[in-house]
Each structure stands twice: as structure tokens, then as C-alpha cells.
Amino acid sequence: MDAIFLQLLNGLDKGSAYALIALGLTLIFGTLGVVNFAHGALFMLGGFCAVGVQMLLKLSTQVKDESIPDLEMMVDVPYLQVWFGDTGAQLISYAVPISVILAIPLMLLVGVLMERGLIRHFYHRTHADQILVTFGLAIVLQELIKSFFGATPIPVPAPEMFTGSANIGEWLGMGAGVSYPWWRLVYFCFSTAVIAMVFAFLQFTTFGMVVRAGMRDRETVGLLGIHIERRFTIVFGIAVVVAGIAGAMYTPIVSPNYRVGMDFLVLSFVVVVVGGMGSLPGAVASGFLLGILQSFASMNEVKHLIPGIDQVIVYLVAVVILLTRPRGLLGRKGVMED
């Protein structure tokens, strides 16, 4: 029982990342009708926001080492620590949360630029062209990041407060063996909050109402005198922000390198398709579902029963669902049927 609960928890953080990326993909697809293969690269870009912020905070100066009085030893001390003492040192460990705050306007800008500069010209091209142009963009983004930050993963630690593990087992009256890293718990709560915010935004604001109407029937909304394209640009920006902050927050869990986006993207597409193209709840649900299934399949007992299942479970589920439920779990009729 404990083991099963633990696997459930383990699946949640990966599932949250899938759900966030899939949510953004579906937002873009539902509004603009564009299949965005650069979404993984945007996730990675968010991760490197965190890396960049950490590097900025760690900018150092040479200071005489006071601990060795006799020798003239110089050590690197970050400016923040020189200026603010221990508060500064504390601040450095908060690189990830700070980067999330910075990433929001930054990614919004990236998203709007990308939509206005590139994607806009591809509304009326085929899906294959859209896939290819965004794929090309993803390669360019990846390679630029590689040339600036190198190819090795750069570790970005979580804030000190959230290192170590939470003893969830004790809280819930289970065995003491059930413990779960704090940061993963934070990530799960964070992604739930982001997902809730996106849904609330679409459901309870006038802006969201117009966007939902536009997703249903773009032409009619346009005929009513609403500039739907501008709204969709903003939705694209929001989707990019979601991918970016998901990437920034994920850095303490997996150190980012330039390829991390593509690895996530392939799985996220499977997630989106399993959930049903164009369905936001479907994307979120299948993100968590596949994350949890993946973690259950990696249990030793299951692996013993069916060898290699942990490697193929996600794809196997995708094949089965697509063949039995042609539109995915919660897909709408007539989306991407041709």
C-alpha cells in the first residue's frame, strides 16, 4: 500500500510537467489551429531562464579570504553576499522562484514576438508546414542555447527551505517510509495552481469567454466585430508563459540541458493526442494519467511481471487509446480528422 502511494506521488511531478506543456500545446492548437513543435524548446528556454538568473545572482568578485589571516588568499564571493551579507546568500538560493517571476514577462514577450513574427504567416498553410517551421525554430533555439550555455546539464538547486524530503507518510498516518522531496511537492502544487488559473481565466473572465467562443467558431466571433486575432496572440503568449515557468520550476528536479525540451515534447504530443486534440481538460487529465502510469510501470513488481513495460507503457497506452477511442479521451468531433 505504501509503495503504491509512493509511486502515485512520484508520478505526480512528471505528470504535472506533462500536463503543463500539454495544456499550452492544446491552447495554441485550439485557438490558432497550429501544431507547435517549438513548445518543448520554450519549456527549455524557461529552464535556462532559471540558469541565467542563477548565474546573474552568483556574479562574483575577488575578496581576501579572512579565514586564513597570514596568507593573502583570494576567494570568489558573490556581489550579493558582499553587499547584503547572509541575506544576500539566502537570496542566491532563491534563484528559481525569482526566475519564475522574471520568466513571466520575458516569455510573454517571446510568445508574442513568435506569434506575430512567424506563426501568423502559417495559419493557412498545411499542418505539415506548421510542424516543420516550428520544428526548425526549435532547432534554432536549442542550438543558440547550446552555444551560450554549453551542452552539459547545469544544476540549479531548489531554495534551501525546500531541500530535503517531506514526511508525507507520517502526516497521513502511513508508514514513515513514505517521504517525498519537498520541491516535487511544491512543483505539484505550483502546476495545479497554474492549471487552475488558466482554467479560471478562460471560464470566468470576459476575455476568456471571447477566446472560448473563438475556439468554437472563429468566423462568427469575427463577424461580431471582435478582433479575435489579437486575443489569440495573447493566448499564444499565455501558453508560452505556461511552458516557460513550467520549465523554470522544473530545473531543481532535472538539471536542464539544451535537449530537455525535445524529450518532453515528444511525450507531450503523445499526451495531447491521448487526451484528445483541442480538449483542455483532456490534456491535463492525460498528462497526469500518463505520468502516474509511467511511475507505476517502473515499480519492480510490475517490471518483474512484464519485463520492459516501464519503457513502453506510455506509447502502448497511446496506441490502445487511439485505436479504441479515435478522438482520444475527451476529444471533440471534427478536430484534425482530415
The residue (of 54 and 295) whose beta carbon lies closer to another protein is: 295
Nearer to another protein, 150 or 222 (CB): 150
We find the least distance from the C-beta atom of residue 136 to another protein, in angstroms, to be 4
The residues facing 60 across adjacent strands are 78
CB nearer another protein, residue 104 or residue 274: 274
Report the nearest approach of another protein to the CB of residue 232 (Å).
20
Residue type for position 220? T
Cβ proximity to another protein: between 186 and 280 the closer is 280
The angle subtended at Cα 109 by Cα 250 and Cα 194, nearest 5°, is 40
User: Which residue, 174 or 335, has its beta carbon nearer to another protein?
Assistant: 335
Nearest CA among 279, 263, 260 for reference residue 333: 279
Question: From the CB of 129, what's the least distance to another protein, in Å?
Answer: 6
| Partner residues linked to 61 by β-bridges | 77
- Is there a contact between 295 and 10 (Cβ–Cβ < 8 Å)? yes
Q: How far is the CB of 66 from another protein (least distance, A)?
A: 40
Task: Indicate the residue among 125 and 216 with the shorter CB distance to another protein.
Answer: 125
Q: How far is the CB of 274 from another protein (least distance, A)?
A: 9
What distance in Å separates the CA atoms of residue 329 and residue 273, rounded to the nearest whole number?
9
Alpha-carbon span 30 to 330, nearest angstrom: 13
- Could you tell me which residues are beta bridge partners of residue 181? 165
Q: Report, in Å, the least distance between residue 299 CB and another protein.
A: 15
Nearest approach in angstroms of CB 143 to another protein is 4
Q: How far is the CB of 9 from another protein (least distance, A)?
A: 24
Alpha helix locations (H) across the chain? 2-32, 39-57, 79-84, 86-93, 95-117, 127-149, 168-171, 182-204, 206-216, 218-223, 228-250, 260-275, 280-297, 300-305, 309-324
Contact indicator for 315, 266 with CB cutoff of 8 Å:
no
47/258 Cα distance (integer angstroms)? 9
Three-state SS at 76: strand
- The distance of closest approach from Cβ of residue 127 to another protein in the complex, given in angstroms and rounded to an integer, is 7
Residues in the chain: 338
Catalog residues that contact another protein under the rule CB under 8 A: 35, 118, 121, 125, 127-129, 131-133, 135-140, 142-144, 146-147, 151, 262, 266, 269-270, 273, 277, 307-308, 310-312, 315-316, 318-319, 322-323, 326, 336-338
Closer Cβ to another protein, 149 or 188, answer by number: 149
Nearer to another protein, 251 or 268 (CB): 268
Comparison of 133 and 289: residue with beta carbon closer to another protein = 133
Burial (CB count <10 Å: 0-12, 13-18, 19+), residue 333 = exposed
Q: Are 255 and 156 in contact (CB under 8 A)?
A: yes
